[in-house]
Amino acid sequence: MNVVTRPDADATALARPPVPPPYGMLAELTHRCPLQCPYCSNPVELDRRNVELDTETWLRVFTQAAKLGVLQVHLSGGEPTARRDLEEMIRHCVKVGLYTNLITAGVGVTAERLQSISDAGVDHVQLSFQGADAMMTDHVSNFRGAHERKLAVAREVRRLGLPLTINSVVHRANIHQIPDFIELALSLDAKRIEIAHSQYYGWALRNRAALMPTREQVFWALEIVEKAREKLKGRLTIDAVVPDYYAKYPKPCMNGWGRQSLNVTPSGKVLPCHAAETIPNLDFWNVRDHALDDIWQDSPAFNAFRGTDWMPPLCQTCERKEIDWGGCRCQAMAIAGDAAETDPACHKSPLHGHLLALAEEDAATGEETFDYRRFLTPDRRV
């Protein structure tokens, strides 16, 4: 395989000061997944198994990530345990000094496989729950028996002495279960829980009318989370992400485009954020053709919205421009039709009222039917 170690650079690229290294990398090992979650933010068009990076290429990418300065790698998907070479990847990450965090749905993972993953040296496990009880988990994931399998995996993770985080994506159908999610995390001896509202990219955008909570639900949830944080301080860390559609300020997506992290897709494209492919006409370089440090420093996609020079006048004059970093480019694309516009989640945006109206309209529909993702299971060829 021929890998370009240093692409030709124009005068602008040569004059550009070096970009500080990223802290983290999301390695999307596969898009194969046994669940059919309606809130999935993976692209509508998934990478098929026959275009996935092979083991050798992933190992090279991890070596390059460590040399670049990446500290931690999140092994994700799809379902990363669908890769039979997962343990080899983990061992290699350990060898080159990367902290490994496995993000899994858990439903297809046996105790024996978990032991093997633990023996390989994984540092941390994040386990998703689509509901706080069996009925909700099985309904949202469209997988009968999912909840009990997840409970078994969580207990085995803790028996092995691995740190455990519970991931709970909340929306209108399950937002009332936030107190129960927190109790579930405590009962499973997790040290951290992520309570993240659905983000409307990829497949999730198709289900927005069935997922969008009401304003009252959102602010009730915020109150519950704040009370729980105070009560459980030192016992359980609670991270929470509110839906952008009800926010006053935009989230600093990925702590700024091309500032601290990068994503590698199953087929090897390197993205500044998980949903970046929703922005047309960006040139995403691939690890099959370019070294990771070259992609981070010089690729057109990473430099498209890096820093503040690209910002529209409204953002350029804002006192928060180096706090929010312009917000979410993918959301600006989805709502404003232009990735270089002010994120409509910002209350200063002329489209902020439109974004809120969309949220309230969707929340009022009472839509309860999910359009399920319809993945094929990990053991079948996509």
Binding residues: 33, 37, 40
Q: Name 129's bridge partners.
A: 168
Helical residues (DSSP H) of the chain, grouped into ranges = 11-15, 55-68, 86-96, 111-120, 134-141, 146-159, 178-187, 202-206, 208-211, 215-231, 292-298, 300-304, 313-316, 329-331, 352-364
CA distance 356 to 346: 11
CA distance 31 to 265: 9
Are 73 and 64 spatial neighbours (Cβ–Cβ below 8 Å)? no
The SS3 assignment for 132 reads: coil
Q: How do beta strands 261-264 and 270-271 pair?
A: antiparallel
Number of helices (H) and strands (E) in the chain: give both, helices first: 15, 9
Q: Which tokens hold the place of 279? A: 């922005």
CA distance 199 to 42: 11
CA distance 355 to 337: 13
Beta strands in 13-60 (DSSP E): 24-28
Q: Which tokens hold the place of 267? A: 């087929």
CA distance 376 to 205: 20
Residue where the block lists tokens 């990771």: 292
End-to-end Cα separation, the chain, in angstroms: 25
Question: Looking at the chain, how many residues does it have?
Answer: 382
CA distance 223 to 195: 13
Question: Which residues make up each annotated binding site for [4Fe-4S] cluster?
Answer: 33, 37, 40
